[in-house]
Structure 1
Amino acid sequence: MKHTLLLLLLFTCSIGFSQTKVSGVVNDAFGDPVAFANVIFKDSNEGTITNEDGRFYLESDETYSTLLFSFVGYATQEMELNQRATYDIKVILEEEAASLDEVVVFSGKTSKKNNPAIDILKKIWENRRENGVKKFKQYQYDKYEKLEFDLNTIDSGLIKSRVFKGMEFVFDQVDTSNVTGNTYLPIFINEAYSKVYGDNILKEEKDVLEGNKNSGFNNNQTLIAFIKDLYKEYDVYDNYLKFFDKAFTSPLSTTGVDVYNYVLLDSAYRDNKWCYNIVYYPRRKNELTFKGDFWVNDTTWAIKEINLQASKSANLNWVREVYIEQEFDVLNDSIFLITRDYFLSDFSFRKKEGARGIYGKRTTLFDNYVFDIPKDKSFYSEQVDPYQYEVYNRPDEFWEQRRMEQLSKDEKGVYKMLDTLKTVPRFKTLYNLGATLASGYYEMGNYDLGPVFSVFGFNEAEGLRIRLGGRTYFSQNDPWRLEVFGAYGFRDERFKYGLSAKWLLDRRTRLIVFAGNRKDVEQTGASLTNSNDVLGRSLASSSLISVGANDRLTRINLTTAGFEMEPSKNLIFRVTGSYRTLRSATDTFSLDYFDENGEIQSRIQQPEIEFSVNFTPGKKTSGYGVEQTIINDGDYPTFFLGYSLGLQGVLGGDFEYKKLQSLYTQPWNIGGLGRLYSTVEVGKIFDPVPLALLSPVPGNQTYFSLYNSFTNLDYYEFVSDTYASVHLQHNFGGRIFSRIPWIRKFNLREVIGFRAVYGEISEENIAINASNIMYQAPGDVYYEYSIGIGNIFKVFRIDFNFRGNYFNNPDARKFGVTGIFGFSF
């Protein structure tokens, strides 16, 4: 993401090179816009249609002198063009009197009955599973993909501003978008060529990357992967198309008749195939829908061409425009195979037309289809080195032969321009600023200082806390990494520290060895499924403000060592040995317990061995080093299973026990109803242990909305040795608020939550307790629920939290208000 923020620091100018450019608006005699009217250069096949507001933009590399405007039921109108660029054209179409008795002009909401467009749509539903590569047992094809970032919409005043002093040459490579009509400057391009193999019987697919070429910075793999995830693969035949973590209703969806109006506009030959042209547009505002048209064949009912443009009123942040084009070719006179997929999005802080923004574009071309050549299942499961030097350093001849679409003059110039830009001192300063804000680390050669956002903290044990740290960082593909921090509390006047090291021994199986030591203050009552990450630390121990006293804190000295490996993609096995010393960090909190002799002890020394497996199918990562960046965070299921063995007598260990923990979390896109997050945790400790080794139900005494915690519980209000919990949180994405006229314009989003936990505590564990905590487990299921309003100013959500039961607990919090900041689409 740091490269994404970096791109916001650059701008483009308003100069274009196309020969003929036109833009404007088409209205009828009453002044109302004419949506989806045809706009064509006379004596050519180059044209477009107006949007739902009657606006259009069209350009061509050729020189034309006449523009044609037409629509069903209106007289065709011609307009002479006296110059290469003609903007703000205003056209009025007159109704064609001779055809008024023959033609029905659709406007507003169209009928669902006796509508020929919907009859055709039903034919598409019946045949949609029989098209494309799904018709064959096996398939192969070549794929060329071009990802691009362009900066758009800038005035001459900013071009000449001090910010760009010494960097004026970046504006030498500009062009004009044929979708939006805005000038843009390409500033980032990534090209990839691969061979794709698939087997519909085995339900396997493999994408073998053969070449990758980047413009700009060597370490931009995260940016590339981030863009690819935004524009992930989709199928227009699916009911919902997922972009930006949102589920848009496809115009080909079986539920489309509830959210779209359909109009049968035309029929004609498209590449020797008779096709129907259907225009569609949303029935309501503020929903995640598109507008556009598609051509569908009259015998196979397969899509020949389709374009989709996101509704400008869609409840979507930071994205001003989304435009998609797909083209299909015909095989054996009946099978339609995709040949071109174009996706453009216009990112901007404001949706106003004149606002500055960034285009993100992906063009994918498909060729050389081959079918029914089987490969062994081992071919699809074979692990290979994910990073091969030659793949990322192919010569120019390789790209000249395999590019399925030649780069434009301006795109070619990007490679040279960015090489020059990296040598400009002012740009280096802007780059470092953007990188620090995005990553949280300040680059100092091969060492990153940070995280800068955790420098200050506060809790009852330490008072004001200052923390400084950093990590080694040579590149995103570092085979080893060291990380260290030091912290000081002004109340306890103690120094804390942490040190960890990781080393990637084998890149193919991702065999990693790790070790570290941390001496710190920790809130062990903030989570159920614990991590032995030596530098892991709960926000609950260092939040600046909290509800009530945050004094139930533990001093921990933790040493760990172990190894992990990933024999199959996203399946990780880990073995960790740890040794920890635990004691209370405040005078008001006790971890005391009775030892075997009945004497009270205040400190615990405990060695432990943990065996765990973590499976995250669908997780996408960037980088090939010891640490990888997760690209689609929160967009895949997680399965965790851990078994821990406490050792007594080894290295002075105090307790022998066995502990089993498991976790399952899953995000769900519920079609047009929004997005649901679900988590289930269960665990059991099989032997008597004191409070410090039990499983406290995670409370939350901060003012932050923390998923997977119980907002109205104090830390250690419940403790258990056997537990089961469930957390549900659903974001409707504004579906309800969009139906309320006076609130619709704010694009707010509704969020509801429910969380519950069941727990037990054994008599043996109660018997050894000598602390000042009264053990209580939620033998009756404890539950909470919440109602939230999200997308406030696009960055804030406020939650109103209600306790469901156990109101008689001391100082029970029946109601609370929490909030959370975050950037989301």
Structure 2
Amino acid sequence: MITKIQKRSFYLLFLLFTFTISSVAAQSTVVTGVITDAADKRPVPSVTVIFKGTKIATKTDAQGKYRLSAQMASTHIEINYVGYKTQSVPVKAGQEQQINIILQEDSQSLNEVTVNSAKKAKYRNKDNPAVELIRQVIAHKSLNRLESDSTVEYQQYDWMQFSLSNLSEKFKNKKIFKNYQFLFDEQDSTAVGGKNILPVYLRERLSQYYYRKSPQKTKIITLADKHVNFDDGLVDNNAIGNYFERMYADVNIYDNNIVFTNSQFLSPIADGAPAYYKFFITDTLKNQQPQLIELSFIPRLPNALLFEGKIYITMDGKYAVQQAFLKTGKDVNINFVRALEVKLNFEPDFRGKFHLVKSHLLMDFGLGNEKGRGFKGERSVTIKNYKTNIPRPDSVYSGESLVMAAGAENRDAAYWADNRLDTIGKDKLKIYGNIDTLGQMKSFKRMMDLVTFFFIGYKNLGPVEIGPLYSFYTFNNLEGFRLRFGGRTTTDFSTRFYMDTYAAYGFKDEKWKYFFSGAYSFNNKSIYKFPQSFVRASFRRDMSIPGEEAVNGVQEDNLASSFRRGVNDKFLYNDFYKVEYQQEYLNHFSFNIGFRKWTQSPAGNLVFARQTDLGPQQLSRLTSTEFNLRLRYAPFEKFYQGKLFRERIIEKYPVFELDYAAGVKGLFGGENAYHNLTASIDKRFYLGQFGRSDVRLEGNYLFGQVPFPLLRIHKANQSYSYQVYAYNLMNFLEFVSDHYVSLNVDHNFNGLILNRIPLLRRLKLREYVTFKGLYGGLRNENNPLMNSSLLQFPVNEDGVATTYHLGNRPYMEASAGLGNIFKVLRFDVVRRFNYLDHPDVAKWGLRAKVQFEF
């Protein structure tokens, strides 16, 4: 039986419990909001938000959103993110509230890291806990890399923008921009690129990635692709995208080297990183799960291709990178690049293994100092739906590595709104409309038309374009003053049929030269754009210099090539009849099959002469007919497509070429039967802090008996410009072969030596060394010294031979040069090592080259 006292005690305890519960509930603090970047207003994922003085923390999602709650009366939240200033923000205790945070970049230089002691300690790797930590990270790289799983798949959203930056109000308000004010945008003046930017390019891409370890295969399916489109007559839109992608390549901190533009940076967690970086433990974050160590680093040599920054390492025994902030110092030797920043974010999967979920890259380009006008490039990558070790059928990995899904380039706004993996502001999306509006403005069209004419060389007149400008006037010893006028049709004329023509006249030889070609495109695209698929027939009557023209016998004249050194008196008049079929595939394999009839007539002091039973005989012409086949494979190749040529964006991937020509005697007047086979490999080798080497290996063998004009006339250079793939101290028509192997190595040290010299390192010069070797010979059947019935080698006015074949010694030359002079010039001192007894040769030479590179 319950007494009254017990009842009263029960009621008292009940009321006390209820009050306690109510009090706790009343003190519950809930904070939500969005965290964005002050510079570009974009949401920032993986930011740590914590109730100050507690271990209660959360992280923002891919949209920058967070939610933090605690059953206590908290008064402040603290916001931490690598590369940004830490903030402490007051909150209302015991309430639910929304607080949006704007992060400001932390621009403090890590070069100011100091050691607090009475006497500054000398930095050393031995017994340094920071170095021991980084060595553990290096030792665990193989476990933390993507490739350690049997399969990996994920979706990736890629956003890229390129803008004119750091524009002053005075520049913005110039008369020329009066009608273009809608293009300008503003940003934080402390951000990379400065205040007032003029966006000129934007690209978004959504892709599905598949990776299989064994057998190794990567498959990338582009689900959606959207980018700014300029007038195709003025700008190659795909080429712009390819070039920007090359500049803003994917960043994998677990690789030993990270390539930006044409420069290779050493990763702070590369195998040899402790020899190039200084490391400092600058913080421990015990309120994280897992706990993190903040590791700061700076380069030992300021000008070297190294980073400074911070990485956050997990303290769970896996030593994985959870966040990273990398940037270049102001003295780093990258041409035109004034600043570079990279932010990387990693998140754990269900196993606790960290994978990349967000990367953000900024580059500031310019000719002058940090305050001058320049270009700002920005790329952001978001990764979601990350899955590992899921077996897929072989059909998923079959076919091409890069695939464009049907309709990927025509996705509507609704698709993008539903499928973007990241938030992009309306101010960014308006760039599409701005550029479309710009492209319709007559004043902009006139300006771009003028720029195209002077820099590319063609004047667009709708269905046709006139040019090239740089070939209008040239001169040489045979023709004297030469004028040329040409043009070709555009896609406004037809997307199937293309015509190209020019006419030239030499005022000294008083001869007309001309060219005409007609082509039919099978894929209804321009024959100059990838992937090419066309058939073309052409006729060319023109002059050339033996040993200067390209392998196919076509020489494109320009004013710069008119200035030549030494004796230059041997020429050819050529008639080319040619039919060819060109086919390229998306995997960058291509073939060209064709037929040509080539008639050569000697000119100048060149003579076609041979010995007969009746005495010396001179020939007025030499005719050959041949079938040609060229195979080319350039995996993952990217290039910029110009009006007349493609400029390959050189990367680490090799390029293979195989050329075969079969001469047919008796067909259309062909005088010789032969088979000519040439193979070559081009490859760039990145050698870390020692720079990079571009290597070309080539071999050739000619089967059959032919006169010397049909032998391989090795490519010489008698101009004052430096040519990478020619012999710069060899004379025209100096060496011929019917079999040879050649090696060309052009090495760029990227300032490895000069960066260590205090006064010179400010100039950011780069050292080059080049070696060129040619080893081959001439069989007796093709040697006119052994067979008098062949056309005899040319001689000079004194009767001394000027054409030779290689003997037991290879031809060798080398050069040492300085590049990045005034950002655009390279000078090389060239040394020829042998065959110095030949007439009119030089042992030394100085050559210059305009060379733009980053």
Normalising by the smaller structure, the TM-score range is 0.7 to 0.9
Instruction: After TM superposition, give the deviation of residue 561 of structure 1 in Å.
Output: 1.1
Give the aligned residue type for 2:386.
Y
Q: What is the number of equivalent residue pairs in this alignment?
A: 749
Instruction: After TM superposition, give the deviation of residue 274 of structure 1 in Å.
Output: 1.0
CA contact (8 A) 2:745 2:770 kept: yes
Which residue in the other structure is 1:176 paired with?
A: 188
Instruction: After TM superposition, give the deviation of residue 650 of structure 1 in Å.
Output: 0.8
Alignment of 1:318-357 (within 5 A): 318-350=336-368, 352-357=369-374
CA contact (8 A) 1:131 1:336 kept: yes
Give the aligned residue type for 2:408.
V
Instruction: After TM superposition, give the deviation of residue 737 of structure 1 in Å.
Output: 0.8
Instruction: After TM superposition, give the deviation of residue 237 of structure 1 in Å.
Output: 1.1
1:652 is paired with a residue whose SS is coil
Instruction: After TM superposition, give the deviation of residue 304 of structure 1 in Å.
Output: 0.4
Of 110, 129, 137 in structure 2, the residue corresponding to residue 116 of structure 1 is 129
Of 765, 783, 798 in structure 1, the residue corresponding to residue 827 of structure 2 is 798
Of 785, 794, 808 in structure 2, the residue corresponding to residue 772 of structure 1 is 794
Matches of 2:606 and 2:479 in 1, distance apart?
A: 14
Cα distance change of structure 1 residues 331 and 477 upon mapping to structure 2, 3 Å threshold: farther
Between 233-242 and 422-431, report the one with greater CA deviation: 422-431
Instruction: After TM superposition, give the deviation of residue 449 of structure 1 in Å.
Output: 2.5
Instruction: After TM superposition, give the deviation of residue 300 of structure 1 in Å.
Output: 1.2
Cα distance change of structure 1 residues 515 and 594 upon mapping to structure 2, 3 Å threshold: farther
Which residue in the other structure is 2:63 paired with?
A: none
Provide Cα deviations, 1:149-180, integer angstroms capped at 9, x if missing partner: 12221222222211212222323x42337743
Instruction: After TM superposition, give the deviation of residue 270 of structure 1 in Å.
Output: 7.2
Cα distance change of structure 1 residues 635 and 559 upon mapping to structure 2, 3 Å threshold: farther
Alignment of 1:352-391 (within 5 A): 352-377=369-394, 379-382=396-399, 390-391=407-408
Cα distance change of structure 1 residues 494 and 630 upon mapping to structure 2, 3 Å threshold: same
Between 123-132 and 216-225, report the one with greater CA deviation: 216-225
Cα distance change of structure 1 residues 565 and 49 upon mapping to structure 2, 3 Å threshold: closer
Cα distance change of structure 1 residues 64 and 816 upon mapping to structure 2, 3 Å threshold: farther
Alignment of 1:114-263 (within 5 A): 114-171=127-184, 173-176=185-188, 179-180=191-192, 182-183=194-195, 184-217=197-230, 219=232, 220-263=237-280
1:553 is paired with a residue whose SS is strand
Give the aligned residue type for 1:325.
K
CA contact (8 A) 2:470 2:558 kept: no
Instruction: After TM superposition, give the deviation of residue 778 of structure 1 in Å.
Output: 1.7
CA contact (8 A) 1:326 1:341 kept: yes
Cα distance change of structure 1 residues 318 and 104 upon mapping to structure 2, 3 Å threshold: same
Alignment of 1:635-654 (within 5 A): 636-654=653-671
Question: Is it true that 1:551 corresponds to 2:569 in the alignment?
Answer: yes
1:124 is paired with a residue whose SS is helix
2:291 is paired with a residue whose SS is strand
Matches of 1:738 and 1:384 in 2, distance apart?
A: 40
CA contact (8 A) 1:195 1:207 kept: yes
Matches of 1:697 and 1:87 in 2, distance apart?
A: 57
Cα distance change of structure 1 residues 758 and 216 upon mapping to structure 2, 3 Å threshold: closer
2:804 is paired with a residue whose SS is coil
| TM-score normalized by the length of structure 1 | 0.83
Which residue in the other structure is 1:77 paired with?
A: none
Matches of 2:558 and 2:376 in 1, distance apart?
A: 39
Of 284, 295, 320 in structure 2, the residue corresponding to residue 278 of structure 1 is 295
Which residue in the other structure is 1:732 paired with?
A: 749
Matches of 1:453 and 1:501 in 2, distance apart?
A: 23
Which residue in the other structure is 2:429 paired with?
A: 412
Cα distance change of structure 1 residues 635 and 133 upon mapping to structure 2, 3 Å threshold: closer
Matches of 1:379 and 1:106 in 2, distance apart?
A: 63
Which residue in the other structure is 2:843 paired with?
A: 814
Alignment of 1:412-561 (within 5 A): 412-474=429-491, 481-506=498-523, 511-526=533-548, 530-531=551-552, 536-537=554-555, 543-561=561-579
Between 356-365 and 661-670, report the one with greater CA deviation: 661-670
Which residue in the other structure is 1:783 paired with?
A: 812
CA contact (8 A) 1:728 1:755 kept: yes
Matches of 1:648 and 1:495 in 2, distance apart?
A: 30
Which residue in the other structure is 2:16 paired with?
A: none
Instruction: After TM superposition, give the deviation of residue 659 of structure 1 in Å.
Output: 1.3
Instruction: After TM superposition, give the deviation of residue 107 of structure 1 in Å.
Output: 7.7
Matches of 2:117 and 2:474 in 1, distance apart?
A: 68
Which residue in the other structure is 2:705 paired with?
A: 688
Which residue in the other structure is 1:618 paired with?
A: 636
Provide Cα deviations, 1:22-51, integer angstroms capped at 9, x if missing partner: xxxxxxxxxxxxxxxxxxxx955456788x
Question: Is it true that 1:571 corresponds to 2:583 in the alignment?
Answer: no
Provide Cα deviations, 1:709-729, integer angstroms capped at 9, x if missing partner: 211111112222222221112
Question: Is it true that 1:609 corresponds to 2:631 in the alignment?
Answer: no
Give the aligned residue type for 1:206.
K
Of 665, 670, 680 in structure 1, the residue corresponding to residue 687 of structure 2 is 670
CA contact (8 A) 1:618 1:636 kept: yes
In structure 1, runs of 5+ residues without a counterpart are 1-14, 20-41, 51-56, 66-83
Matches of 2:333 and 2:493 in 1, distance apart?
A: 35
CA contact (8 A) 1:441 1:448 kept: yes
Matches of 2:714 and 2:108 in 1, distance apart?
A: 66
Give the aligned residue type for 1:225.
N
Question: Is it true that 1:311 corresponds to 2:329 in the alignment?
Answer: yes
Give the aligned residue type for 1:808.
D
2:680 is paired with a residue whose SS is strand
1:712 is paired with a residue whose SS is coil
Provide Cα deviations, 1:522-557, integer angstroms capped at 9, x if missing partner: 223136x8136xxx3156997221112322221111
Which residue in the other structure is 1:39 paired with?
A: none
2:204 is paired with a residue whose SS is strand
2:546 is paired with a residue whose SS is coil
Give the aligned residue type for 1:546.
R
Matches of 1:673 and 1:137 in 2, distance apart?
A: 34
Between 566-575 and 370-379, report the one with greater CA deviation: 370-379
CA contact (8 A) 1:594 1:601 kept: no
Instruction: After TM superposition, give the deviation of residue 620 of structure 1 in Å.
Output: 1.9
Matches of 2:419 and 2:676 in 1, distance apart?
A: 56
2:440 is paired with a residue whose SS is coil
2:671 is paired with a residue whose SS is coil
Give the aligned residue type for 1:713.
M
Matches of 1:782 and 1:646 in 2, distance apart?
A: 28
1:812 is paired with a residue whose SS is coil
Cα distance change of structure 1 residues 407 and 769 upon mapping to structure 2, 3 Å threshold: same
Matches of 1:761 and 1:394 in 2, distance apart?
A: 61
Tell me how large the CA RMSD over aligned residues is. Answer: 3.6
% identity of equivalent residues: 26
CA contact (8 A) 1:457 1:464 kept: yes
Matches of 1:379 and 1:662 in 2, distance apart?
A: 34
Cα distance change of structure 1 residues 253 and 388 upon mapping to structure 2, 3 Å threshold: closer
